[in-house]
Structure 1
Amino acid sequence: MNVSDKFAAARAQFPVTKRLLYLDSAHQTPLSTNVKAALEEFLSEGHEMGGPKPVWLRRAEETRERVAKFFNAAPAEIAFTKNTSEGLNIAANAVPLEAGDNVVLIEGDHPNNAYAWLNLKRKGVEVRFAKLKDDEIATAGTVAPYIDKHTKVVTLSHVTFHAGQVHDIGGIGKLCKDKGIYLVVDAMQSVGVIPLDVKALNISALAAGTHKGLLVPQGLGILYVAEGLDELQPTFLAMSSMARPPADYIARPEDLEVRKDAARFEFGNVNLPDLQALSSAIDLIESVGVPDIQKHVVALGGRLIKHLDELSVRLVGPREHGHRSHIYVLALPVSKWADFFARNLVRVSPERGGIRVSFGMFNTFDDVDRLAEIIRKGLKEDTLVAIEQVD
């Protein structure tokens, strides 16, 4: 099957494309047919068989192995969480930080990453924000001026939610490795869309949810913690965290040693339905391949930028090929355009710089051309209203 046929087959898995012009994958991706089927299978097993939990747990471990391959990680380096924010908070509280240490972030990056570290100010940890414009990407040069001998962590998104920059994680990772600094990455907007090699990028910890590029409903997150970072310790403990969980279910106060793998950061039951769905989602993603998904969404973005130039609509984020991915923010006033797009059955998101358009593996060049025509119509209507107001 050639690449175009693979994308056509993938699009057929998303019936929403027959009802809406869905351009909102940076918010959440719609449910695919095979993911829906996996969730229904889970519910049927619980309904008809009383819940075969050993089977579900085995499948969860199989999914852990498949997830690890997305990052070039080992299964033992993967823990399951609720969402990106929980993973980032786990990382922030696991890193051994003391009063006087500092953490470097990017100003304007996702607030849930910032709050995870700002919460440590009560312990005397300083949080520094590196400046960055919406059309720039973060590089080692961006964060280097904010680093000193007390810097213990650099943390940022791989792809920003608000302007779509694809930051130079490789360059920043090398800087962090050379200086002995932890690199913590929010991969919410990149996983499943951009190939990620945590080893090559020198990432210490990575957090992501699964409801965007990984195509699974909200409620499941992934936390990668590099092997050997045993000094990163969990704030919360449960039997699942322990190196030797008591077989008789009686806690031993004298034995509080935690596991060496990333599962030390899991506590209690994991989201078994979503994990079963995630395995099916990975089937769909792998039927196309993440490298081809990246090429596809970047090509869609190139087509969009061409249309925007013809329409004299400004792009808020980066234009350069290697600096962008699937997220494009159009400098259109939200107060006017959010309702206009909704009336025309276009699903997009309001964003701080305007209207955010974000592509998924199921979008096509025809989708981009349709969007351009709808924008053209809106600009014409806006002009007519302005003329009427002047008259």
Structure 2
Amino acid sequence: MSQHYDVAAIRRAFPAAEHVVYLDSGFQTPLSRPVKEAYERFLREGFETAGPKQIWLNRLEETRAKVAALLGAQPHEIAFTKNTSESMNIAANALPLRAGDKVLMIHGDHPNNAYAFLNLAKKGVEVAFIPMTDVVNADSFRSHIDERTRAISMSHVTFHAGHRFDVESVGQLCEQHGLYFVVDVMQGIGVTPIDAKAMKATFIGSGTHKGLLVPQGLGLLYWDATRVELEPAYLAAASLAEPPLDFIARPDNMALPATAGRFELGNFNLPAIQGLDAAIDLINAVGIGNVEAHCFDLGDYLIERLDQLDVGLVGPRDRQHRAPHIYVVALPATEWLDYFTQNGIRVSPERDGIRVSLGMFNTTADIDRLIEAIRARNVPSTQARTAVLSKLG
């Protein structure tokens, strides 16, 4: 039982959680009833009426406003994309970087963030990587900034070990040095509060199939609308301030809007956007602060139970530096993943172990099932090993 909200009621909205010990929301969350119903409404409307497109587009704008509120932004600062990778590539190519400019990143951060900037080598842009440690903040970057540095790009939460980096201090550093700041929030959004303005981010990119509870195929991009010099590397009629009503392209009509719509190409993923609308309503009904607190409590419980088994944790343990919902257990994935799968426990392999990632629907009983599965495979606890050694005398 959570002290933060009625988890049992929320759990009933995720039927898959009743059939499998689902500890893999860092890969993708199970489909919830409200999101499923939103998709079904879209399909029914398309099936019965051939598609009320204007109604769907009106709902899209309502969803855009909800996304903006979730990020502490304004609706005109939000664009819809295909996924995090597309968002990060849009951001990388919109920055006015030239040959000789340098971008700072973190070694071992998500590859699709890194590749978006590494691809700029064709323009002569250099990417320099700083070391990844359990704590990354402004001081981690400070000594690496020189006269060629133009931008910093990083994740808010790491996918492979659950670091939660101090992006706010890095954003302040970027503001002090006049740097662009690009943040990937994919692993944190929907679980931990995010404030785009407190981050002082230029761009924020994310997908929606993890903490935002929507199947793959939809992404988000926040753009600081005061950065009017940032333009897309492509152009379509939908990107224009005044799309031609007669659908004839003219070289004197290429002005961009003062909104993040400049980064959109049209033909939105409408069913997923309607699913996102329902998902955000569900998150708001629970309260994102409550989701975060609940996951932190479960994480504390997981760490306590692992300590009892003398099984290690990869990444930070301190709440100040860890994500509330991502924990990597120091068990070799090659030896343990199939075993967990066979025992009805859904987790993911990661670089240094088995990733356990929590959602709003998880309970201590899910953690207990995981721990009992580990215990059953005879991973000895410190106490058990002491007893054995005592008998060997």
Q: Under a length normalisation based on structure 1, what TM-score does the superposition of the two structures give?
A: 0.95
Superposition deviation, residue 84 in structure 1: 0.2
**Which SS does the other structure have where 1:67 is aligned?**
helix
Q: Secondary structure at the match of 2:230?
A: coil
Q: Secondary structure at the match of 1:146?
A: coil
Q: Which amino acid aligns with 1:274?
A: A
Q: Which residue of 1 aligns with 2:43?
A: 43
- In 1, the alpha carbon distance for the partners of 2:141 and 2:379 equals 44
Give CA deviations for 1:38-97 in whole Å, capped at 9, x if unaligned: 101100111111011010000000000010001110000000000000000000000000
Between the aligned partners of 1:371 and 1:244, the Cα distance in structure 2 is 56
Separation (CA, whole Å) in 1 of partners of 2:141 and 2:309:
36
Does the 8 Å contact 1:7/1:288 carry over to 2? Answer: no
- Alignment partner of 2:252 out of 237, 251, 254: 254
Partner of 2:110: 110
2-structure distance, mates of 1:10, 1:3 = 14
Partners of 1:206 and 1:119 in 2: CA distance: 19
What are the Cα deviations for residues 84-111 of structure 1, in whole angstroms up to 9, with x where unaligned? 0000000000000000100000000000
Structure 1 residues 10-30: Cα deviation after superposition (integer angstroms, max 9, x where no partner): 111001111100000000000
Offset at 1:379?
3.0
Amino acid at match of 1:358: S
Cα-Cα RMSD: 1.4
Aligned equivalents of 1:310, 1:281: Cα separation in 2: 37
Deviation at 1:5, TM superposition (A): 4.6
Counterparts of 2:122 and 2:191, CA distance in 1: 37
Matches of 1:10 and 1:229 in 2, distance apart? 40
Report what 1:8 is aligned to.
8
Match of residue 355 from structure 1 = 354
Query: In the aligned structure 2, how far is the partner of 1:91 from the partner of 1:379?
Result: 49
Paired residue type of 1:371: L
Q: In the aligned structure 1, how far is the partner of 2:225 from the partner of 2:109? A: 27
2:226 — aligned with what? 228
The corresponding residue for 1:291 is: 289
Query: Structure 1 residue 310 and structure 2 residue 327: aligned?
Result: no
Deviations 1:174-210 (A, max 9, x none): 1011111111000000111110111112111000000
Three-state SS of the structure 1 residue aligned to 2:25 is coil
Report the AA paired with residue 316 of structure 1: V
**Cα drift, residue 380 of structure 1:** 4.8
Contact 1:102 1:127 in 2 (8 A): yes
CA distance in 2, matches of 1:379, 1:361: 30
Residue of structure 2 in register with 1:210 after alignment:
208
1:92-136 superposed Cα distances (whole Å, 9 cap, x missing partner): 000000001000000000000000000001111010000013xx1
The residue aligned with 1:86 is 86
Query: Match for residue 237 of structure 2?
Result: 239
Q: Which amino acid in 2 is paired with 1:208?
A: S
Q: Hey, what's the Cα distance between the residues in 1 that align with 2:100 and 2:328?
A: 38
SS of aligned partner of 2:272:
helix
Structure 2 match to 1:369: 368
Q: Of 261, 270, 278, which residue of structure 1 is paired with 2:268? A: 270
3-state SS of paired residue (2:313): coil
Secondary structure, in 3 states, of the residue corresponding to 2:182? strand
1:164 is matched with which residue? 162
Query: What is residue 145 of structure 2 aligned with on the other side?
Result: 147
**CA–CA distance in 2 between the matches of 1:378 and 1:40?**
43
Question: Which amino acid is 1:334 matched to?
Answer: A
Q: Do the aligned partners of 1:316 and 1:331 also contact (CA within 8 Å) in 2?
A: yes
Paired with 2:210 and 2:197, the residues of 1 have a C-alpha distance of 23
- Matched residues in 2 for 1:108 and 1:224: separation? 24
Q: How far apart are residue 8 of structure 1 and its match? A: 2.2
Q: Per the alignment, in what secondary structure is the counterpart of residue 298 of structure 1?
A: helix
Residue pair 2:4, 2:293 contacting (<8 A) in 1 also: no
Q: Which amino acid aligns with 2:300?
A: G
Measure how far apart 1:238 and its partner are. 1.0
Moved more, 2-11 or 282-291: 2-11
Secondary structure of 2:143's counterpart equals helix
How far has the Cα of 1:6 moved from its partner?
3.1
1:386: which partner in 2?
none
Aligned residue identity for 2:270 = L
Which of 178, 183, 186 is 1:185 aligned to?
183
Unaligned stretches of 5+ residues in structure 1? 384-391
Q: How many residues align?
A: 380
Identity of aligned residues (%): 54
Residues 78, 222 of structure 1: 8 Å contact kept: yes
Offset of 1:367 from its aligned partner?
1.2
2:26 corresponds in structure 1 to 26
